[in-house]
Amino acid sequence: MPELPEVEILARHLRPLLHGKTIRGVSVRRAKVLRPTSQREFQKALTGAKFTDLSRRGKYLLFELRSKTSGKPVTLLGHLGMTGRMFLAKKNESIPKHAAVVFDLGREYFIYEDTRYFGRLTLDLSAIEKLGPEPLDKSFSPEILARELKRSRQAIKVKLLDQSLVVGVGNIYASEALFRARISPKLAANKLTLAQTKKLWRAIRDVLAAAIAGGSTVQLNFTGGKSDGLFYFGRAHGTPDYYEERLRVYDRAGKPCFHCRRPVKRIVQAARSTFYCPHCQISR
Ligand SMILES: [Zn+2]
């Protein structure tokens, strides 16, 4: 499942490729991914529109376009769900079986593919209205984090996944940030000291910034090959090397901790796996 760094890398990759391109045709193959926008409304708003910008908010992609008919800005919100991919393909390449939406850009296609159709590509922006601060922005301070954590008795690992606390920290980076801050994932959020909160704030930013920096070295440009240029996410498609190397506890149950060499442990919290070192990560 893509987390904030993967979505940021994808946004940076697609931004220059889409900039200034005009949508000549909109083919919707799975209307489910547009919900609640109707297929008719979607096609009407986007046919002839030109891409002007692309940014990220949490795990959402925000495509900015200019409408052909009204000349007004149109925002298209994308989310990759569990298995979504968004990429450009040349016209002579075959369109994948699970393509949900295909934009005809003239010389190439812009394709949103999703084997499980849990993602979204929609004109409805309500999903981003209640999101918390961006972890890498100035609006996310240790003080704000401390204030929010004091209000919660949830285990800190579970609380970190709350998108109203801070956006974009998913299951992988929650475990990684807590390992870096040496805080047990089981500690109640309101039990963190100010010193621990500051360490955690720093760890969240460091782990995400390192992931973005590491991922940005990956080649994403399409070259016409069958799988080249398709940005693979997660393990279902095979994990790129860079991805594995920077994870210190995630998916390393039984393997030696990088600090103390004792085995990393896996537990389940709120139905999700957590990985941590019981020796290095203290629960007080
Ligand atoms: Zn350890």
Active site residue 93: no
How confident is residue 215, by pLDDT bands cut at 50, 70 and 90? confident
CB 223 within 8 A of CB 229: yes
Q: What is the pLDDT of residues 88-98, one digit of tens each?
A: 999 998 899 99
Average pLDDT (252-264) is 97
Phi–psi pair at 179, nearest 5 degrees: -65, -45
The pTM of this model reads 0.82
Higher pLDDT, 246 or 49: 49
Active site residue 272: yes
Find residue 182's DSSP bridge partners: none
Active site residue 2: yes
- Work out whether the CA dihedral 115, 129, 198, 11 comes out positive or negative: positive
**d(CA 126, ligand 1 centre) in Å:** 42
Active site residue 153: no
**d(CA 267, ligand 1 centre) in Å:** 15
**d(CA 214, ligand 1 centre) in Å:** 24
**d(CA 190, ligand 1 centre) in Å:** 24
Q: Tokens in use for 29?
A: 């193959």
Q: Tokens in use for 91?
A: 């016209």
**d(CA 276, ligand 1 centre) in Å:** 8
